[in-house]
Amino acid sequence: MKVIAIPQLSDNYAYLIIDPATREAGIVDCAEVAPILEAVDREGATLTAILPTHHHFDHVGGNEELLAARPGLTVYGFDDRVPGLTDRVGHGDRVRVGSLEAEVLSIPAHTTGHIAYYFEREHAVFTGDTLFAGGCGRLFEGDAAMMIASLRKLRDLPDDTKVYFGHEYTVKNLDFALTLEPQNRVLRDKRAWAATTTGDGGYTTPTTIASEKDTNPFFRWQSPELRATLAAKFPDLPMEDVAVFAKTRQLKDNF
Ligand code: ZN
Ligand code: FE
């Protein structure tokens, strides 16, 4: 499987997935069509499917235009709010791009219909706005308990799974993470790497499940240092998973 990250709008990523065996391709999220078709043509690929993670405009805003340009595309999705939806899929269902296969994971909370595409054989997952490098999505249509359940499904994937996320928010996410775990050396190193990488015009995608376990405060609600930081600032905060996660999310909302 070849994956090409295609910047969209100000800080979004769409991902072109190409099956080397058949040259068939799918696009995970689509906001701006021109750079996507440019990549498809440059790769000599045939686009067969759109794989939207959720219905927000910056992830599906280009669907109708892409369908007009390449009629007959399969548009997967769980949420009826996805424009052009042709194949409704739910948790555990399978989607195909050429000979590549992914399992659909239902990961609600940013939106109720948010899904991920998990390519088991390739150890790759596309997480949209649920899991970012160093962060997670805002809770627009769910609560902290729902988001923890969604993130657990991702955290349970193999450590070496590559995580392709929806926005280049990494440096700011890691700056926030450092306010909670200033002594986390892996986190400090990753923040420095991310700043250098994006400063040079590069991308921090993909990350891995292992790296997120080490650095992402929204995977680390059990971290002693994170809990100690919160306990010092909020003496009345109950030290249990949902409360710790909810407080972390609330602080990030205002960071
Ligand atoms: Zn979104
Ligand atoms: Fe988004």
b/e code 91-111 from CB counts within 10 Å (16+ = b): eebebbbbebbbbbbbbbbbb
pLDDT (mean) for 238-248: 98
Task: Please tell me the predicted confidence (pLDDT) of residue 83.
Answer: 98
Q: Is 91 a catalytic residue?
A: no
pLDDT-based confidence at 1, cuts 50/70/90? very high
Q: Which of 54, 55, 79, 114 is catalytic?
A: 54
| For ion ligand 1, residues whose CB falls within 5 Å | 56, 129
The tally of CA atoms less than 13 A away on the side-chain side of residue 95 is: 34
pLDDT digits (tens, 9 = 90+) for 57-79: 999 999 999 999 999 999 999 99
* Residue showing tokens 């906001």: 31
Phi/psi at 126 (5° precision): -110, 115
pLDDT (mean) for 140-145: 98
Closest CA to 163 of 198, 199, 117: 117
pLDDT digits (tens, 9 = 90+) for 24-33: 999 999 999 9
Q: Is 55 a catalytic residue?
A: no
pLDDT (mean) for 221-230: 98
Rounded distance from Cα 58 to ligand 2 centre (Å): 5
Rounded distance from Cα 215 to ligand 1 centre (Å): 22
* Residue showing tokens 């892409």: 66
- How many whole angstroms separate alpha carbon 35 and alpha carbon 227? 43
Tokens of 138: 């805002």
Q: Which H helix or E strand runs over 167?
A: none
Task: Please tell me the predicted confidence (pLDDT) of residue 95.
Answer: 98
Tokens of 80: 């009826």
In this structure, the number of other CB atoms found within 10 A of the CB of residue 236 comes to 5
* Residue showing tokens 């991310």: 194
- Which CATH code is given to the segment(s) 2-253? 3.60.15.10
131, 154 Cβ separation under 8 angstroms? yes
**CB within 8 Å of 232: residues ≥ 6 apart:** none
pLDDT (mean) for 223-246: 98
Rounded distance from Cα 102 to ligand 1 centre (Å): 21
Give the pTM: 0.98
Task: Please tell me the predicted confidence (pLDDT) of residue 227.
Answer: 98
Closest CA to 5 of 211, 208, 204: 204
pLDDT (mean) for 135-141: 98
Domain ranges of the chain: 2-253
- How many whole angstroms separate alpha carbon 67 and alpha carbon 72? 7
pLDDT-based confidence at 160, cuts 50/70/90? very high
Task: Please tell me the predicted confidence (pLDDT) of residue 16.
Answer: 99
Tokens of 223: 């971290």
- For the chain, how many residues are written? 255
Tokens of 137: 């999505």
pLDDT-based confidence at 101, cuts 50/70/90? very high
- How many whole angstroms separate alpha carbon 168 and alpha carbon 111? 19
Closest CA to 154 of 106, 89, 221, 90: 106
Side chain identity at residue 3, one-letter code: V
